[in-house]
Structure 1
Amino acid sequence: MSKEMKKFVALVGTNTKDATNRKLLQFMKQHFAGQADIELMEITGLPMFDKPQDMHVPDRAQAMAKEIDAADGVIISTPEYDHAVPAILMNAIEWLSFGIHPFADKPVMIIGASFGSLGTSRAQEHLRQMMDAPEVHARIMPSSEYLVGQSLKIFDDEGKLNDTEKVAQLEALFADFQQFVNISKELWHSTQVDKELLDNRNNIKA
């Protein structure tokens, strides 16, 4: 792998088998293989979040956090259920912002695929609000909404997007995301302060 090639973690925002959001991330992994190392991360295997009194974070969440920490950025692909993200994705983010803060100042790109014609606009807005929460504190790429509607029809038998306009849009947004990651690295002055503030909040939690 080239020294200049960035490493991204791609969170599959659902546990649904044969999910089109997983297919979208798999397509990105293959399509951008010459530009970046994209590794898919499933969000299964976590218990239902129930704030533990002993502040214990499950091993699975700690392992996920370690991979996110080591990545240059994160891509999250979410479906839309009742104008919101799936409960399993909310659960994962809750664990990944409880005592650990891998998303703090981490560049994040949000995308999504949906069976319907409207895509995942409201779910993406919901996810942006979550990722911007004080305990998460991600750096979310602005003006980057990527909506894949009618997702059952948009992938061919080989898992490739068969809509050339959607592919071109994704290529442009991914190029912007890589530049956003570069810019974010220049904002290092606040990163250490932000993480110290998050750690202090953990120490005073009831």
Structure 2
Amino acid sequence: MNEMKLIGIVGTNSSRSTNRQLLHYIQKHFSEQAEIEICEIKDLPAFNEPEEAVAPAAVKELSDKLDEADGVIISTPEYDHAIPAALKSALEWLSYTTRPLIDKSVMIVGASHGSLGSSRAQAHLRQILDAPELKARIMPGMEFLLGRSLEAFDESGELVYGDKVTELEECFEEFQLFVTLTNQLTKDQRFKTEQKRNFTWEQAVNGGIEK
């Protein structure tokens, strides 16, 4: 069986985010189950609608990695009850240009300094990822929230909250199964995936999208 290949997206341009720490912990902790490459969005340009829907080189590089991955993990903080502007901008680039997240399995996690985690931001991200231009396959019934994240990791990057380690292990096991089942389901529907990638609101308004 080939090793599962996943992309972890740090959902912020902050250089000190505990969401980056969380992804690095996930990468290390599950290294025997999956190959996880962590990708940054902090160097992507702010979204500016391009002519002919052509992605800048940095966006295209990220898109190609997402396209080749079996699944994606996005770790998002919560800013004013929503995802950061940098993450929204990155998703806008992907939705407007290459659309690599269509039918791609996505697991959402999040860390925050407070005790409540990033629940509102995760709900916001789910709503965005369900848009026709993104249409990711979002893992249902799972919300991994890491609160009090400033005290959550020791000097070696290990997660010190035992209950959260157990919870994350259960979530990751479910995600692996979700990725496998989703990829089996969509394997024979590549043509429909390409149709979704060619979606335009003009087609939808004019009745040109197949339902």
What range describes the TM-score normalised by the shorter chain of this pair?
over 0.9
Equivalence for 1:53: 51
Q: Percent identity?
A: 47
| TM-score between the two structures when normalised by the length of structure 1 | 0.94
Distance in 2, matches of 1:51 and 1:170, equals: 37
Structure with the higher fraction of residues in helix conformation: 2
SS of the residue 1:187 aligns to:
helix
Contact 2:108/2:143 (CA < 8 Å) preserved in 1?
A: yes
1:68-97 deviations in Å (ceiling 9; x for gaps): 011000000000001000000000000011
- Conserved in 1, the CA contact under 8 Å of 2:14 and 2:42? no
Counterpart of 2:96 in structure 1 is 98
The superposition leaves residues 96-122 of structure 1 with CA deviations (integer Å, 9 ceiling, x where unpaired) of 111211101000000000001110000
User: Which residue in the other structure is 2:125 paired with?
Assistant: 127
Give the aligned residue type for 2:155: D
Contact kept, 8 Å, 2:132 with 2:199, in 1: the verdict is: no
Which residue identity does 1:197 align to in structure 2?
Answer: K
Mark the CA change 1:22 to 1:158 in structure 2 (over 3 Å): closer, same or farther: same
User: 1:68 aligned to 2:92?
Assistant: no
User: In structure 1, what is the equivalent of residue 195 of structure 2?
Assistant: 196
Query: What is the number of residues matched between the two proteins?
Result: 203
Is the 1:85–1:123 contact (alpha carbons within 8 Å) kept by the matching residues of 2? yes
Provide the C-alpha distance between the structure 1 equivalents of 2:129 and 2:56, rounded to a whole number of angstroms: 20
Residue 5 of structure 2: aligned partner: 7
Per mean C-alpha deviation after superposition, the further-off stretch among 110-119 and 12-21 is: 12-21
Query: 2: CA distance between counterparts of 1:160 and 1:105?
Result: 32
Of the three residues 19, 22, 26, the one matched with 1:21 is 19
Distance 1:21 1:141 in 2: 19
2:209 match: none
Q: In structure 1, which of residues 131, 134, 137 is the aligned counterpart of residue 135 of structure 2?
A: 137
2:73 partner amino acid: I
TM-score, normalization: structure 2?
A: 0.91
- Which of 24, 27, 37 is the aligned partner of 2:35? 37
Larger mean Cα displacement after TM superposition, 43-52 or 61-70? 43-52
For 1:37, what is the secondary structure of its paired residue? strand
Stretches of structure 2 lacking an aligned partner (at least 5 in a row) = 205-211
